[in-house]
Structure 1
Amino acid sequence: MALRRREVLIGFVGAGGLAVTGCAREQEAPPSPRAAAIRFDPALDSHGVNARIPGTVTVTDGTLRSVEWIDETGRALPGALTPDQRVWTSAEPLGYGHTYTAKAVAQGETGEVTATATCATVAPDRLVDVSLRSGNLVELAENDTYGVGFVLVARFDQPVDRAAAQRQLRVSTEPAVTGAWYWLDDQNAHWRPEHYYAPGTRVTIAAELFGAPLGDGAYGLRDQHISVLIGPAHVAIADDDTKHIDVFENGNLVRSMPTSMGMGGSAAVGGTVLSFWTRPGIYTVLDRKNPVIMDSASYGLPVNSRLGYRTTINHGVRISHDGIFVHALAESMWAQGNTNVSHGCLNLSPDDAAWFYDFVIPGDVIEVRNTGGDPLDIWQNGDWTILWPDWLRGGAPA
């Protein structure tokens, strides 16, 4: 009887064991190995590729073992891998007019994979450069200092599409100011703020032309970046009502100087009408020279004519592109402060002219008020004479 009970218990345990064994799960099969996948940028067989971009090779599900990016001359484009060996990027842009063959080898779970690609970059019909200048048409140098009336001039060496070119010209200031471009023609654009700069402003200009289409098959030659500083606020007010030039520094009057300005009227010489007014408007200092040779023939008045002249003048501060200077002239001291006798220049005593010459820098402001004649034109250095709404209308369309 005892034996039979033990057989029953053993049989019960065995049955339980069979039940447990029947609940076990089957083991999942391991995933299939993945092959490395290589991608080129620019993509396979690309044409007209932007010259500005670098070449890039990217691998997924693997690592790069080697990359060759060879141009049509056999030159290898230098480049570097990321630390994880998944991306290679060329160390320089692809450039103009190249045909490249790229080859990459990657290691994945299935072994080595090799891929090749070709691409061709854009080949311009012509390359265009730009010169970044101040209003005196001298090229800017890093950290130059200019007056609060500084005007930036972008001079392209060939005609360009204005809108396309303007998109590549960027001006930033610290502190920020509102400014805009004004196009004189298809090669010349000027930039200025709505109001004079604050002293100490830094103006940074970026002309990012390389790789940029500029219209009619033209592309930009190179990039340029430069910044200049704005000095103290030097503003001179030349008022024909008082016949004085009052000079201010940062809003404070520092000197008042008697002057004699343009005598007024005009003369017809060789079919050209010449004006002898000091035109009203806002001028800026362009440059200085001591001494300077003044020749009336430079603006169409023959030296041997009744009003012609050729003479050497001391402490000449040029304020217009057509020959208006603030300068010394002892011979007109009798008229300074009471009578206008010049051809258009602003005459000063030798002492005042020497002081003014030493005081000003390019970009300083001279506001001429209450004189006759036509307002100062932009080609003469009259950027600040143009009202702001009119200036905005001179920009290229967005």
Structure 2
Amino acid sequence: MPLFFDHRRNRVAAGLGLLVVVVAALQTGSSATHFVDSVAAPQVTEIPEVIEAPKPVSVSIAPGPDQRDVAPADEVLVTATSGTLADVVMINESGRQVHGVLSPDRDRWTPAEPLGYGRTYTLTATARGADAGLVTRTSTFSTAVPDQQASVSLRTTLGSRLTDGASYGVGTVVVAQFDTDIADRAAAERQLKVTTTPAVQGAWMWINDRKAHWRPREYFPAGTKVSVNADIYGVDLGDGVYGLEDSAVDFVIGRKRVSIADDTTKQVSVFVDDKLVRTMPTSMGRGGTTTVGGNTIAFWTQPGIYTVQEKANPVLMDSSTYGLPTSASSGYKVSVAHAVRISPDGIYLHEREGTVWAQGSQNVSAGCLNLSAENAEWFYELAQPGDVVEVRNTGGAPCSNGRTATGACPGIPGWPAAPCTSSPTVSLTPCNSVGSAISKPW
């Protein structure tokens, strides 16, 4: 049969068929012509609409009834299922109401203020279902009483507090300094957050039970905005220690400044935004050791990556601060000008006119980097905390930063290990020793 029909032929055929029917009727002598619909009327079956009964409304409250030693930072949440919250009231044991926030769809409620330590709270919540029925639930719980409370401050590697709105160098390391040992480091670290604009990859590394460092995987881009938050209030930090209060700071990263002191050339090359802007002759640590009271004191400028930590004009340098009496043949106590500190144990770039004859050709200092008056003043005015200073090709052990004997830096978990050499465009973990002594090599 063809897919498309000839409609004219069909109409002719239909007319002939009608003629045959009429003729047949006449031939039978019928007095009336009956037209019978040969197609039966369709049967319609009505399906009744099934209307489900509304689910009963339910209310859940966390923490549940009679829970004890709840950390004030733990989640407090009221939830309505198959309905909306009509009323939520939370009070402490004194009857003071705790204000809260209801979600836009009215099915979740959370407190809008922190809970206290050693308090008892009662939460009463009423929800309304689709059938207008009401359900009420109540939970009474108590919060923990700390054995001890920990505070945290946000600092530089030297120990100075990071300052709101200040500018820091591209090698800046953020230090979270706790005032007591933290048993649950993971719980503490979850509360430590560094937010940057633009985004910068970084990680926390614990130096000891009281101190964690956050560093970027690469140097901060110049102009980066940095926000640091330590939200530890109410957090269980382990062994009965809870957070005392939160801490926060916002700062900005300044221009990229990287200085390389190379003992091969005895020059300090200063790069700003990856461009060489000045080369300064220097005289670094003369090397060798001396023993005083059973302690061996070295006179090297240790190789490694350092950061500017502070600067002062002048600074009193006293060899007795690191165990070498001022009366010893190598001892000293002298005031120096335009001093820029790059390590906690007292290595500086500073003015020393008395060694200009050796600067650029010979190392004669006790460990600092000596500069001429002109160069020292110029560098002093340029430097800001967090700027990078790399010392290359000097003798002695690498600077203290958890480095191995071969000079390789251990990486943060998940990061590749970093070697202890770099160029102005490659960043590594800065040297930041954590010794308590404040020595000031001259």
Residue 148 of structure 2 is aligned to residue 126 of structure 1 = yes
Distance apart, 1:122 and its partner CA: 2.8
Distance apart, 1:113 and its partner CA: 6.4
Secondary structure, counterpart of 2:380 in structure 1: helix
Contact 2:157–2:309 at 8 Å: present in 1 too?
A: yes
TM-score, normalising length from structure 2? 0.73
Match of 1:281 in 2: 304
Distance apart, 1:260 and its partner CA: 0.9
Match of 1:308 in 2: 331
Cα distance in 1 between the residues matched to 2:414 and 2:52: 66
Amino acid at match of 2:412: L
Contact 2:192–2:230 at 8 Å: present in 1 too?
A: yes
Residue 101 of structure 2 is aligned to residue 72 of structure 1 = no
Task: Flag the structure with larger Rg.
Answer: 2
Cα distance in 2 between the residues matched to 1:89 and 1:335: 69
Cα distance in 1 between the residues matched to 2:181 and 2:125: 42
Identity of aligned residues (%): 50
- 2:139 alignment partner, one of 104, 117, 142: 117
Match of 1:99 in 2: 120
Alignment of 1:373-392 (within 5 A): 373-378=396-401, 387=408, 390-392=410-412
Residue 275 of structure 2 is aligned to residue 252 of structure 1 = yes
Contact 1:236–1:247 at 8 Å: present in 2 too?
A: yes
- 1:240 alignment partner, one of 248, 253, 263: 263
CA spacing shift, 1:189–1:59, aligned 2, 3 Å = closer
Alignment of 1:1-398 (within 5 A): 38-53=59-74, 55-57=76-78, 67-79=88-100, 88-104=109-125, 115-160=137-182, 161-378=184-401, 387=408, 390-392=410-412
Secondary structure, counterpart of 2:171 in structure 1: coil
Write the deviation string for residues 189-208 of structure 1: whole angstroms up to 9, x where unpaired.
Answer: 22222332222223333323
Amino acid at match of 1:279: Q
CA spacing shift, 1:377–1:89, aligned 2, 3 Å = closer
Cα distance in 2 between the residues matched to 1:106 and 1:184: 50
Secondary structure, counterpart of 1:49 in structure 2: coil
Distance apart, 1:367 and its partner CA: 0.9
Write 1 or 2 for the structure with the bigger share of strand.
1
CA spacing shift, 1:347–1:99, aligned 2, 3 Å = same
Unaligned runs of 5+ in 2: 1-48, 416-442
Write the deviation string for residues 158-202 of structure 1: whole angstroms up to 9, x where unpaired.
Answer: 111333323332334333344333322111222222332222223
Cα distance in 2 between the residues matched to 1:280 and 1:33: 75
Cα distance in 1 between the residues matched to 2:275 and 2:107: 64
Distance apart, 1:302 and its partner CA: 1.0
Distance apart, 1:34 and its partner CA: 10
CA spacing shift, 1:347–1:84, aligned 2, 3 Å = closer
Contact 1:64–1:106 at 8 Å: present in 2 too?
A: yes
Write the deviation string for residues 353-383 of structure 1: whole angstroms up to 9, x where unpaired.
Answer: 000000110111111111111111128xx99
CA spacing shift, 1:328–1:106, aligned 2, 3 Å = same
Identify the range of structure 1 (245-254 vs 198-207) with the bigger mean alpha-carbon deviation: 198-207
Amino acid at match of 1:269: V
Match of 2:40 in 1: none
Root-mean-square deviation (CA, aligned residues, Å) is: 3.3
Amino acid at match of 1:371: T
Cα distance in 2 between the residues matched to 1:198 and 1:85: 44
Secondary structure, counterpart of 1:48 in structure 2: coil
Identify the range of structure 1 (274-283 vs 111-120) with the bigger mean alpha-carbon deviation: 111-120
Amino acid at match of 1:95: G
Identify the range of structure 1 (296-305 vs 194-203) with the bigger mean alpha-carbon deviation: 194-203
Distance apart, 1:338 and its partner CA: 1.3
Amino acid at match of 2:97: A
TM-score, normalising length from structure 1? 0.80
Contact 2:127–2:134 at 8 Å: present in 1 too?
A: yes
Contact 1:52–1:95 at 8 Å: present in 2 too?
A: no
Cα distance in 1 between the residues matched to 2:295 and 2:369: 23
Cα distance in 1 between the residues matched to 2:253 and 2:83: 55
CA spacing shift, 1:42–1:317, aligned 2, 3 Å = same
Contact 1:72–1:98 at 8 Å: present in 2 too?
A: yes
Secondary structure, counterpart of 1:101 in structure 2: strand
